[in-house]
Structure 1
Amino acid sequence: MPVFVPDPAIPGADDLAACRAAIRAGSKSFFAASMLLPPAVRMSAYGLYAFCRLSDDAVDEAGGNHAASLARLERRLSAAVAGRPADHPADRALAEVIARHAIPEALPRALLEGFAWDIEGRRYDTLSELAAYAARVAGTVGAMMTLVMGVRDADALARACDLGVAMQFTNIARDVGEDARAGRLYLPRSWLDAAGIDPDAFLADPGLSPGLRRVVADLLVAAEGLYARAEPGIAALPLGCRPAIRAAGTIYAEIGRAVEANGLDSVTRRARVSGARKARLLARAVLPAGRTAGLSAPPLTETAFLVEAVRHHPVPASRRLLPWWDVSGQVVRVLDLIEVLEERDAFRRSAPS
C-alpha cells in the first residue's frame, strides 16, 4: 500500500505547542491516546485535531450568528488549503498538515458540512441518514488521521471511516439528554416513531422511557458492528501507529458499555470511563492486532465519497514511516499521564478523533 511521511523535523514548533495545549484542554482521551503515536505522526495529529476543535468551538460559541461563523471557517479552510493560512496557530498547523500529507480538500470541507447540518438543526429519519452525518463529523477525521499516518490504501481508509462513524454513534448514544437540552436530537426519527416518542415533545421535556432505552440500545448495537468492521484496518497501519488507534477505539467502545451499565439512561446520567479503566485499556492496546479478515469489505455507502476523494487526489513520492520501537516505554508514560490528568483536569465533552 502506498505510504509516505515527511521529514520528522516539523516546522512551526510554537504553533504545534499551542495545538497540543488545546488538545490537552479539550480531550483527555484523545490526548492520552495520541501519546502512543510516533512523534512525527503525533505532531501532525495535534495540528489536525486543533483545527477540528477550533471549528467545533467556533460554531458552538457563535451565539445566534452561526452562519457567519461557518462562512469564516470555510474561508479559513480555503486559505489553509491554498497555503495562505490565517494568523492563528491552528490555521498554520492545518495548512502544514494538508500540504505535508496530501490531504484532499474534500475531507476537511466535509467536516464543515457536518457542522453546517448542526447549524441547520437537521434531523435524521433513518440510521443511514445519521451515518451520513457521522461520516462528515467523524469519518472525515478517521480518514485524515489515516493519511497523517502515511497510509492511503482504500481498504484501510474505509475501515478508518467505520471507526469514526462508530465513535460518533457512541457519542450520540451517550449524549442524548445533553444534546436535547441544547435543542439537538440525532436519534433516527423512524426509531423514535417505532418507540412511540414524539421528537418535539422529547426536546421540550427530555425524559427517560423504556422506548428511549431501546433506541439507545439499538444505536449502541450499530456502533458495535462498526467497531468490529473497523478492527481489521488497524493491522493495515504502520506498526508504531496501531496502539494509539486501538486505544482510541477500545476507549470509545467502553463508553458504550458504560452507557449500558447506567441502564441505558443517557438523559439523567452521563457515562464515564474511569482513569483506571482507561489505563488498563491503553495497556492492552500494545498487544498484537486481532482479526484481519474483513479488511477488504466495501466502505459504507455513506463514507464512500471520502475514500474516493483520496483515491483521486495526487500523491507525493512514497516514503515509509520511520520505525518506532519504544512501545513499552511510551505506555508507561501514558499511564502516568492519565493519572495526572484525572487528578487535575475537569471532565469536558470530547469531540469525534
Structure 2
Amino acid sequence: MSDRGLGARLAGRAGPPIDGADLAACREAIRAGSLSFHSASRLLPRGVRDPALALYAFCRLADDAVDEGADTGGAVLRLRARLDAIYDGRPEDAPADRAFAAVVQGTAMPRALPEALLEGLAWDAVGREYRTLSDLHAYGARVAGAVGAMMCVLMGVRDRHALSRACDLGAAMQLTNIARDVGEDAAMGRVYLPLDWLEEAGVDRGGFLADPLPTDAVRAVVGRLLGEARRLYFRAEAGIAALPRAARPGIWAARLAYAGIGGRVAANGHDSVSRRAVTSRAAKLGWLAQAGLRTGIGMAMPRSAVLYAAPLPEAAFLVDAACGPAKGGAWGEGRGGALLAVLAQLEAQDRAARLAAE
C-alpha cells in the first residue's frame, strides 16, 4: 500500500487527531529515551509515525515510572488509573496520556494489549525473576510483544500471521535489551538472564549480584541469549512484507537498529557487565539507508513461508486479542485474572509500606 493509500485509510478512522503540542512532547520524550526508535520512526509515513510516537511515548514514560521511581508498586497502580481514564475517554492532563487516548479512540485499540504491558511492568515492580527462557518470553511478550501488536493495530493490520511476527520482533528486541543491560540490572539487584541457564553455566545468582563480573560463564549466557534474539529477528523479517508498503522501511530500520545493538554486545566479547554497547550515529544512518534500499517503493518483498509459523506460545494471547473481539472470556478469566492478582499483590505491598511509614 502506498503512503497516500495508507494515509487515507488512517484518516478515515473515527477519533480525534493528536494535538500538535502533545505530539511534539511525545517526540521529545522518544528522542531522549529511545534514540533507536526515534531514528527508525523517521522512515514511517506520517499517518503511522504520529500515532506510533504517541504509543511509544506512553509506553516509554510508563516504563520509566516503574524503573526510575522509588515507589515502583505505587507507580504501576497509578498507571492502571491512567489507563482506566484513557479508556473512559477522560485522560489525565498530560501530553502522552492525551495523545495515547486519541490513538486508542482512533484505532479501537484492544484494551488487552496495553493491559499486558501493565502486567509486565507489575512483574518488574514485584521483583519477579525468570527461571527458563519460556518464562522470559512471557515477560517479553508483555513489555515488548504487546507494543509490536499495538503497532500493527495502529497500522490497520489485524492479520494473525503478521501479528505473530510483530510479537517475535518485540521479543527479539527485549532479549537484546536484556543482553545489553546485564551490568546495569545487576547494579539494581536484578537478574533477567534465565536462571537455569546461569546454573548450567555454573553461575551463582547471589554471588553474581554481590560481585558482578564479566566472567567467561556470564558472557557465554549473554551470547546464548543473543542467539535466541537472532532467531526471532529472522522470524520477524517475514512479517514486514505483510505490512503496508509505506510502513515497511521504518519497521525494518527498527529491526536493524536493535539487532545492531546485539552486534555491538558481541563485538565487546559479550561483556555487558563492565561495558555498555553503544551504536554510532554513522551506524544508525547506515541502517536507515539499508532499510530504505531493502523496502523502497517499487521493490517487491518475497513472502517467506516463515510468515506462517505459529506465534511464540507465550505471545499467542496477544495475537488473539489484536485479531478481534475476545472469545469465550479468555482475557477476562485468564490474562485479566493474572493482572488483577499481581495488582492486588502491589496494593497489599503499598498498604504495608504506608502503615510502616505512619
Percent of residue pairs bearing the same amino acid type: 58
Contact persistence 2:240–2:248 (CA under 8 A): yes
CA distance in 2, matches of 1:262, 1:59: 29
2:76 counterpart (70, 84, 92) = 70
Asked if residue 31 in structure 1 is aligned to residue 43 in structure 2, the reply is no
Give 1:162-181 correspondences, 5 Å limit: 162-181=168-187
Contact persistence 1:10–1:40 (CA under 8 A): no
Q: TM-score, normalised by structure 1?
A: 0.85
Q: Which has the higher contact order (CA 8 A, sep 6+)?
A: 1
Aligned to 2:315: 303
Contact persistence 1:176–1:266 (CA under 8 A): yes
Q: Match for 2:317: what amino acid?
A: F
Aligned to 1:190: 196
Runs of 4+ in 1 over 6 A off after TM superposition: none
Deviation for aligned residue 1:6? 3.2
Deviation for aligned residue 1:7? 4.1
Contact persistence 1:123–1:186 (CA under 8 A): yes
Aligned to 2:68: 61
Aligned to 1:6: 11
Q: 1:291 to 1:209 in 2, by over 3 A?
A: farther
Aligned to 2:48: 41
Q: Deviations over 1:283-332 (max 9, x none)?
A: 01012346622111111000000011112339xxxxxxxxxxxxxxxxxx
Aligned to 1:123: 129
Contact persistence 1:158–1:307 (CA under 8 A): yes
Contact persistence 2:17–2:102 (CA under 8 A): no
- Select between 219-228 and 98-107 the one with higher mean Cα deviation: 98-107
Aligned to 1:345: none
1:279 counterpart (282, 285, 293) = 285
3-state SS, counterpart of residue 273 of structure 1: coil
Aligned to 2:214: 208
Q: Deviations over 1:208-263 (max 9, x none)?
A: 11111110111011000000110110000011100000000011111111111101
Aligned to 1:160: 166
Kindly tell me the number of residue pairs found equivalent between the two proteins: 312
Q: Match for 1:82: what amino acid?
A: D
Unaligned runs of 5+ in 2: 296-300, 327-358
Query: Cα RMSD (Å) of the superposition?
Result: 1.7
Q: Match for 1:231: what amino acid?
A: E
Aligned to 1:340: none
Aligned to 1:105: 111
CA distance in 2, matches of 1:284, 1:290: 17
CA distance in 2, matches of 1:61, 1:179: 12
Asked if residue 222 in structure 1 is aligned to residue 228 in structure 2, the reply is yes
Deviation for aligned residue 1:126? 0.3
CA distance in 1, matches of 2:268, 2:181: 13
Q: Deviations over 1:66-88 (max 9, x none)?
A: 21111111010011012111111
Contact persistence 1:174–1:270 (CA under 8 A): yes
Aligned to 1:312: 324
Unaligned runs of 5+ in 1: 315-353
3-state SS, counterpart of residue 295 of structure 1: helix
Aligned to 2:329: none
